[in-house]
Amino acid sequence: MSVTAIPTLASQHDHEGAPRTTSPATPSATKALQILEAFLGAGPKLGVSEIARTAGLPKSTAFRLLRHLEQSGYVERTGRHYVLGRRLFELGNAVQICRPQGIRETAMPHLAELYVATGKTVHLAILEGTDIVFLEKIAGRGGIQPDTYVGGRAPAACSALGKAILSFSDRDHIAAVLESGLVRRTRHSHADPAKFLAELRRANSERIAFDREEAQVGIVCAAVPIMIEGRAIAAVSVSGSATGFNAASITRHLRRAAAAISDEVVSSAA
């Protein structure tokens, strides 16, 4: 359904950053997963107390589960802190999008060409819920670097990648983004749903979306959706310093890369 049909939603809800709470009846497997999720966005090394607080678990329970996770290779201990284990790296790269013939591998040669052509940071991302998830990143040469990493998330509403995909998403998905609240990462981020929807309509018409310092001050970004049968399955972007960002040249290279990735995905599925 076209984004032109999306109404402006009056009410929005802020994202809550409070630690979760867990009842005694919560299965141990769920508690273990909550411990692993405590590392998301919290830094590479965490102590038991911080893990327990973030996961909403008693410290004794967190310590017991960490011991089991360490024995299985899912976490590793470094002094008095814990880090995610290499076993998770193996599992993460077994996800379908990372395996041979997955979109990450298919896109990689074209991402490399895009980096060579522009010299700027290149990303590949998918939409998951109201966030984008970065599947690949090639860091640009010099200048301010985007604060992103492979496997990381960012609010879709204030990223060019998210807007590129959302501009070809259905009514319910866009409504969910608005209902979750337009997160303001910087003073340039959109807070007005009407203006945000207008930008999605423009991205849908032009097949390119922009982030003008909305996710990170000093960084601008352009993104083009990767289209399969009229649906955006992912997006590719180029990011760089706000000064010296040649939008016309970058748009040309982006469209070429997105079209090539789309053609290969279709060919491999045939």
The pLDDT of residue 25 is 54
The pLDDT of residue 270 is 62
Which structural domains are found in the chain, ordered by start? 28-90 (1.10.10.10), 97-269 (3.30.450.40)
The pLDDT of residue 266 is 83
Class of residue 161 by CB neighbours under 10 A (exposed 0-12, middle 13-18, buried 19+) = buried
**pTM of the entire structure?**
0.73
The pLDDT of residue 14 is 35
The pLDDT of residue 182 is 87
Give the Cβ contact number of residue 28 at 10 Å. Answer: 11
Long-range CB contacts for residues 261-266, cutoff 8 Å, separation at least 24: 261/103, 261/106, 261/107, 261/110, 261/226, 261/234, 261/236, 262/226, 262/227, 262/228, 264/106, 264/110, 265/103, 265/106, 265/226, 265/228, 265/233, 266/228
- Alpha carbon 52 to chain centroid, angstroms: 26
Using alpha carbons, list the distances in angstroms from residue 146 to 75, 93, 143, 237, 255.
28, 23, 10, 12, 21
Residues facing residue 76 across a β-bridge:
83
Cα–Cα distance between 29 and 54 in angstroms, integer? 16
Nearest by Cα to 155 from 12, 5, 55, 10: 12
Specify the DSSP class assigned to residue 38: T
Cα–Cα distance between 231 and 225 in angstroms, integer? 9
Cα–Cα distance between 192 and 9 in angstroms, integer? 10
Find out whether 74 and 62 touch, Cβ atoms under 8 Å: no
What is the identity of the amino acid at 236?
V
CA neighbours closer than 13 Å in the CB half-sphere of residue 133: 11
The pLDDT of residue 10 is 30
Chunked mean pLDDT (size 10), the chain, 270 residues: 35 38 67 87 82 90 91 89 86 68 86 95 94 93 85 90 95 91 85 92 95 92 94 95 89 96 82
The pLDDT of residue 268 is 74
